[in-house]
Amino acid sequence: MRFSRWVVGLVLSVLFVLPANAANSPAAPREQASRGSPPSGLRYTDNAAPAATQRVVSLYIDRDFSDDARARIGLAVRQWNVALNGFIQFRVGLLEANPQPQTLAQIRRSGGWVVARIDSRHPVARQPGARQALAMAVGSSRSGGIVYVISDRFGLADLSGVMLHELGHVLGAGHDDSTNGHLMASVYKPGNGHCIDQGAVAMVAQAQRLPLSRLNWCVGPGLEARRSR
């Protein structure tokens, strides 16, 4: 089956778990998400960027995603590029049709990531512990890997939020369940996922050895209050 080869022998596997009955809820797709900007009233900081882009990470998007889905993935990528402020920049390309194993290996060797669309029947989605996952990032922040999007477990409206979270893992962030409303919480809450908060950026800064004060994060009414609960 496509993409199954990379499952073996990878060093990091992070799940984004579905809370009971949340993903099937018709409530709360945020309209703001479709514009790619953070939810209403929130904005990103605008700290001083380096003179030139310091590192590029390529993302190859599976052709099995619809145009609409690819657009939503692009919105998440753009927000991370704002947050990363030129220290790291994601560049998006389209994965070739029916990629051969050597193509996937080459992407990985170059530090790139594939964003793969799978469904619940895929072996990755059926692993123990992954049966409620919405998506998984498998690989390492230094050597590339694959983000599996389990497309039949959530709706298009949540794809940007799920990808914001998974790209946090791509950049080396783990989970943080210590605050309410955090992008990197292990359980997806549809109301939370459309903005890269300072906690998420701080984990990436630590993993990538970047200066937090020169990265950007989402600020605005409600965000601090949610995080401090």
Q: Which residues pair with 139 in a beta bridge?
A: 145
> Which tokens belong to 91?
């560049």
Residue whose CB is less far from Zn ion, 16 or 65: 16
Q: Please give the residues from 10 up to 29 whose contact with Zn ion meets the rule CB under 5 A.
A: 14, 16
Residue whose CB is less far from Zn ion, 99 or 195: 195
Residue whose CB is less far from Zn ion, 26 or 128: 128
Examine residue 113 and tell whether it contacts Zn ion (CB under 5 A): no
Q: How far is the CB of 166 from Zn ion (least distance, A)?
A: 7
Residue whose CB is less far from Zn ion, 147 or 218: 147
116 phi-psi bin (left φ>0, alpha ψ -120 to 50, beta other): beta
SS (H, E, C) 163-227: HHHHHHHHCCCCCCCCCCCCCCCCECCCCCCCCCCHHHHHHHHHHHCCCHHHCCCEECCCHHHHH
Q: How many residues belong to the site for Zn ion (CB under 5 A)? A: 2
Examine residue 87 and tell whether it contacts Zn ion (CB under 5 A): no
Contact 162, 135 (CB under 8 A): yes
Q: How far is the CB of 15 from Zn ion (least distance, A)?
A: 6
Which residue number has the CB closest to Zn ion? 16
In the block, residue with structure tokens 């300072």: 198
Contacts for 138 with CB less than 8 Å, ≥ 6 apart:
6, 7, 10, 12, 13, 14, 124, 145, 146, 147, 148
Residue whose CB is less far from Zn ion, 99 or 165: 165
Q: Which stretch binds Zn ion (CB under 5 A): 8-16, 54-62, 71-79, 206-214?
A: 8-16
Q: How far is the CB of 165 from Zn ion (least distance, A)?
A: 6
Give the footprint of Zn ion on this chain (CB under 5 A): 14, 16
